[in-house]
Structures are given as structure tokens and as C-alpha cells.
Homo-oligomer: A and B are copies of this chain.
């Protein structure tokens, strides 16, 4: 599954569009993400420290009125989520809950009330663990607790927390190992991540991001927060899915090729 990442107030081009309530420009970006294959649109107003709830509510209302695509409300702020969730039409996703005590306590009731899908970060109050075993352990705890609270397995998207390979001795293996352990414990469980953090501090980041995407897909990750309008990245997604046998007769790969998505 692809969650389009472009409508994020931390992006320089986006913040002023939200600030000025430029609905037409924001909708054009949303339409481009949808046309490129986004299953969900991530909406983030975190850069508005003072009035995130009002900003996120406006953005959700604006999108819900104009597009059918599902929305992913990207905030750790329960007030912003509470203001915006009632305005989303149809199934909605919250990005994100975690095993941090306060965050778990505040976000879970919102997910229950709105029957939301949940991105669940493999971190707790002790911050992000360095080992795959520890992230896996937190992931298992989240699955057990969320299931006990009535959240369906299919609505949980575990995020093993991508960190830059430039500062991590083991590279991305901690991500691949975490996902493979989670898939062994809960076959078919959704695993999600943002891509771009992996390449922070290195040159040719887009190239690193693509090879990481291909590897993550091979290791069992099935959902990604990314820029679907990046043609080479979406080409990688389709090629990598064909490589793991998730594209019967390579039909989607071949269709995208005929539509000019790929260059060697």
C-alpha cells in the first residue's frame, strides 16, 4: 500500500499553501498523488505549533469535500486528531500511535471511536531501541494490546522506525530483521515505513531510497509512506513487487512500462 507523503507542512512548498488556505493548489497536489497510485493521502499540519488542530481540521475538511481517496491523519497530537477525525469521510488512518504511555493512552480511544487504521511505532518511553529484537518485542506488545482493545489485526500497521544508515553500524538490517520477525510471529501483518530517513546524510539519496524500498519489499514490508509522483521510485515499487511474485504475470509492471513509467 502506498501512502502519499506530499501534503506535509514540514515541506517548504506546502506550509504556505496551508497557511493561505490555498485549496486549489493543495487539491492539485492531492490529485497528482492519486493519479500516480496513492492509496491514502497523508495529511500533516505539525509545523503549525499554535493552531495545529484548526489547520488539520481545515485540511481534512478540504480534502474530504473534493476527493474520494482515503486520508491518513499524521499527528501525535490528540487534540489535532480529535478535531480532524470527525471530518474525514469513510475509513481513515491515524499516523501514529506508539508504545509510549501517554501517546498510547491518548490516541487509542480516538482510533476506537473512529474505527481508524493505525500506524503503530515500535518505540516506547525508553525511546527507539537499537536492536531488532527490542523493536520486535515492542511490536508484539502493541499488537497484543491493540487487539485486546478491539483493533483488528488488518487495521494495525507496525512501523519499525527507519534511521539513517550513515549513523547506524548495522545499516538497515535492523529494519529487515524486525519485519521478518514480526511476519514470522504474525503472518500477513502490515508493516509500514517512511523511506527517506534511511539516506539522510548521504549523497544520491533517491538512489539509496529506491534500493532500500526494493529490499524492504523483499523482506516483507507491504506499506510505504513515499512520494508517488516520483516516477523512478514508483517504477522501483512495481518492479520489486513483480520480483517477489506479487504481480501475476508481471501484468502491472508491463502496463506501467507501456505507459512509460520505466527507464533503464
On A, residues with C-beta under 8 Å from B are: 165-166, 168-173, 176, 198, 202-208, 210-212, 214-215, 217-219, 235-236, 239-240, 242-250, 253-254, 257, 262-264
Contacts and interface: CB of A to CB of B under 8 A. Distances in A.
A250 B168 CA distance: 10
A248 B169 CA distance: 7
A212 B245 contact: no
Nearest to A241: B171
- Chain A interface main SS type: helix
Given A171-B244, A202-B242, 6 more contacts: A165-B242, A166-B250, A168-B245, A172-B243, A198-B243, A208-B243
A243 B204 contact: no
A214 B264 CA distance: 15
Nearest to A246: B171
Ranked 4 nearest A-B pairs via Cβ: A171-B245, A215-B218, A170-B245, A211-B214
Given A176-B218, A218-B218, A243 B202 contact: no
B202 A254 contact: yes
Specify how many copies of this chain sit in the oligomer.
2
29 contacts: A165-B242, A166-B250, A168-B245, A169-B245, A171-B246, A173-B244, A202-B254, A203-B254, A203-B257, A203-B262, A204-B239, A204-B257, A204-B262, A204-B263, A204-B264, A207-B239, A207-B264, A208-B239, A208-B242, A208-B243, A211-B211, A211-B236, A211-B240, A211-B243, A212-B243, A215-B218, A215-B244, A218-B218, A219-B219
Contact of A235 (B206, B207, B242): B207
A201 to B, nearest CB: 9
Nearest to A212: B243
Nearest to A208: B239
A157 to B, nearest CB: 21
A264 to B, nearest CB: 5
A253 B201 CA distance: 12
Given A245-B165, A250-B165, A264 B206 contact: yes
Contacts of A207: 235, 239, 262-264
A249 B167 CA distance: 7
